[in-house]
Amino acid sequence: MKEGTLDRTDISLLHILMRDSRASEQQMSEVLNITPRGVYLRTETLVREGVVRAMTAKPSLASLGAKSVLIYGRSRLRSMQHAMSMLSGEDSVAWIAQSTGGRFYIAIHLKKDDDIDLAVQKTADRAMIASPVAAIRELFDIAGEYNYSTLDWRIVSSMSEDPRKSMEEVAAEIDEPLRRVVGRFNRMLERNALDLSIEFDPNAISNPLCLFHMECFNKDRIVDTVQELMRRHAPSILFFNTYSNMPHMMTSLAVLQDLEELRSVMRSFEETECFDHIDASLIIRSATMGTWRDKMVAIKGRPRALPQ
């Protein structure tokens, strides 16, 4: 990272940490082709500069039967600060972003039995979006819901602000046998019940951040196309998302080096035969917010009460 700009190795490091914040420096060094010491120094820089605000462990949305909905549209909000003020009391709001053209994006996480339409309308009203689009993100988790035990919650709570703790440290903190802790932790991993990730703050970097919208009506080669785009523009493209209620829509988020790279990615999207329409929105500011999922970890992970 130099003068606020992430280089390609920094972005690759973010890729890894977003997907597994417990990855060891040795494991990351083998992927990044740098020394473990180099991984350590780069990670420390990202944390010190506020690019990585926190490393986190949370129950996965799919394991809770929850839903993730992306709401967006042109808004009458004056600023990002105005948006955060209007939405600060909503514990379903996980992410807010302000983009070019007066468009705001809001990601909400809803509990299993929440009414999607009511939640979308309430959020859109607070965000002053007159004609909101609401897209329900496909989570692609074949394991499904997971039945967390009391011990599971205590393990997640112990790791919630430091997922890189050793199992020995977790066991000592919650006063449980190491063998039990390791067994339950491995079971949660096997069932995809844990999100081991980071809080990434793009406001701390000068790289352009772009959210692409694509319409795809011919999905015969979509998997191959996405894989090829990810390979060609690695590591800049962070992910692609699809949506259950809008099967023809896809979005993709990219951290770019400059506007020339943005033009290059746009050309690649335009040249494929899969996408019928592509729209690019530059993200000006964004913020992550705590949700009911964080509160659930804090409440369910509390230490057991001692007998009277």
Q: What letter does residue 63 receive in the DSSP assignment?
A: G
* pTM given for the model: 0.94
Tell me whether residue 21 is exposed, middle or buried, using C-beta atoms within 10 angstroms of its C-beta: 0 to 12, 13 to 18, 19 or more.
Answer: buried
Q: Determine how many CB atoms are found less than 10 A away from the CB of residue 93.
A: 25
CA distance 180 to 185: 9
- Provide the residue ranges of all domains of the chain, joining segments of one domain with +: 8-54, 202-286
Strands 194-200 and 52-59: antiparallel
The C-alpha torsion from 6 through 77 and 246 to 58, rounded to 10°, is 60
Q: Determine how many CB atoms are found less than 10 A away from the CB of residue 86.
A: 18
CATH class of 8-54: mainly alpha
User: What are the pLDDT tens digits along the chain (308 aa)?
Assistant: 888 999 999 999 999 999 999 999 999 999 999 999 999 999 999 999 999 999 999 999 999 999 999 999 999 999 999 999 999 989 999 999 999 999 999 999 999 999 999 999 999 999 999 999 999 999 876 678 999 999 999 999 999 999 999 999 999 999 999 999 999 999 999 999 999 999 999 999 999 999 999 999 877 889 999 999 999 999 999 999 999 999 999 999 999 999 999 999 999 999 988 899 999 999 999 999 999 999 999 999 987 654 54
Q: Pick from 259, 251, 265, 281: which is nearest to 206 by CA?
A: 259
What topology is assigned to 202-286 in CATH?
Answer: Alpha-Beta Plaits (3.30.70)
Q: Spell out where 116-235 has E strands.
A: 133-136, 194-200, 209-216
